[in-house]
Amino acid sequence: MGIKFTAGDIVEMGLQIEKNGREYYKEVGKCSSSGKARAIFDFLGKEEIQHINYFEKLLEKTEKEEIAESYPGEYHEYMQHLSGLHVFTQEGKGKEAACKIKGDLEALQTAAGFEKDSILFYYEMRNFIAEKDKHIIDGIIKQEQLHLSKIMELVNAMNH
């Protein structure tokens, strides 16, 4: 299958990842017994809102392209299978993940894992888009790396 993705496709998946991230931080914040941790999760949730806005602006700038298919619906089916491998591309997964968390440090460590998974996801998806659009994915990766860095600083602060 010679399917390639458009930058817009990846930005749309990224938008859902960010929405689920926001949902995750909102839910773990509700469950936290620590005021400091709730403030951290509120901060991280606001970061996700900034990312959502960034992704929405990116989506407006991306070109819409038609992809050649071997059979009707092939592209949509492939997109669903590929994005389904990343837990946060599925609606409602943020809340589901938050409900399994047992403590504030675990919540941050889980968030760091999601950010790492997102970075790897974008790096992999970068292989499936046109060369002219790779800078869009590079910008997304940079945003996710900054977010991961902030989360790791918070994890380190909680450990000390």
DSSP class of 88: G
As a whole-number percent, the residues of the chain with pLDDT over 90 amount to 9
Q: Quick one: CATH architecture of 7-159?
A: Up-down Bundle (1.20)
* Range in 34-43, 78-87, 109-118, 133-142 with the lowest mean pLDDT: 78-87
Residue positions counted in the chain? 160
pLDDT at 84: 59
Q: Rounded to an integer, what distance in angstroms lies between the CA atom of residue 1 and that of residue 13?
A: 21
- How far is Cα of residue 80 from the mean position of the Cα atoms in its chain? 16
Q: Which residue has the tokens 């591309």?
A: 89
Whether the pLDDT of residue 49 is over 90: the answer is: yes
Q: Rounded to an integer, what distance in angstroms lies between the CA atom of residue 9 and that of residue 130?
A: 12
Domain residue limits, the chain: 7-159
Contacts (Cβ under 8 Å, ≥6 apart) of 69: 3, 75
pLDDT at 76: 62
Question: What is the per-residue pLDDT across 91-138, written as a single tens digit (0 to 9) for each?
Answer: 666 677 776 777 788 888 888 988 888 898 888 888 878 888 899 899
pLDDT tier at 149, thresholds 50, 70, 90: very high
